[in-house]
Amino acid sequence: MVQIKEFRIVMPMSLEEYHVAYMYMVMKMSQQHTTGDEGIEVIENRSFEDNVLGKGRYTNKIYRLQSKVPSWLTTFAPSDALIIKEEAWNAFPKCKSVMKCPYFPRFQLTLETVNRPDKGQSENVHGLSEEQLAVREVEYIDIASSEGNYWSYLVGNNDVDFSEFKSERTGRGPLLEGWQNRCNPVMTAYKLVTIDAPYWGFGSRLEQALIAGEKALFLESHRNCFSWIDEWYGMTVQQIYELEQQTHSALNEKLGKPALITSAED
């Protein structure tokens, strides 16, 4: 059965700030998780335009994170075969990414994001059908909380105490109980995860595991977005693009892979 889960993450920043914060976070976390053996290889990074999302950036990546594969899954496939290929279309404030595993060709994880300047109260921002809404689950993620489980251990564990944290450059924080209703500026990332792993014997378990993994990743990455605010605050999207190009080349070099492909206008 296809799993559909929507996560809503309220953030104490404007949409424009979140655009920069998210790009900065992805770049920095990619560096943290890339070594000589494992990490994120960027195949392509270019501009795109279509009738659905509009204009944005297209990226094609390969994730080699074998050490993070659950041990039970290696009974169905060798860990070195469990690489993930991702195509992503970032047309902020809307984004979409599709992840596949060549070893399991029928597996697919789709992540669709809509970012809005609200406090998480908008309904059906993804335009789901009645059938999809009937099976969709909604869960709010509070960045002021933290979790200590298997997935949070794998994706990282930002240990900043947001009940005491205060940004030196913006004065934002601390995040005390009910902060989502008081903060200004504010925005929400609505992340819709759709997973289909139609494999008898482990497909359902894999879907549930990946839902838990996505939740842990969303919590960690958005905690990083806010805790690193004094690093990215004041930067522009164009400055982040330029840093991205340098970072992607460095990551590929670290993995011993070819330089990424960019379009002529980039």
CATH code, domain with 44: 3.30.530.20
Asked if residue 148 has pLDDT above 80, the reply is no
In a domain, 120, yes or no: yes
How many structural domains are present in the chain? 1
Q: Contact 185/116 with Cβ under 8 angstroms? A: no
In a domain, 260, yes or no: no
Q: pLDDT tens across 201-242, in order?
A: 888 888 998 999 899 999 999 999 999 999 999 999 999 988
- Structural domain span for residue 221: 3-255
Q: pLDDT tens across 23-58, in order?
A: 999 999 888 877 667 778 889 989 999 998 999 999
Of 191, 143, 188, the residue nearest 6 (C-alpha)? 191
In a domain, 176, yes or no: yes
Please state, in angstroms and rounded to a whole number, the distance separating the CA atoms of residues 180 and 140. Answer: 11
In a domain, 265, yes or no: no
In a domain, 168, yes or no: yes
In a domain, 238, yes or no: yes
End-to-end alpha-carbon separation of the chain, Å? 41
The pTM is what? 0.90
Q: Which residue in this structure is represented by tokens 């200004």?
A: 184
In a domain, 200, yes or no: yes
In a domain, 261, yes or no: no
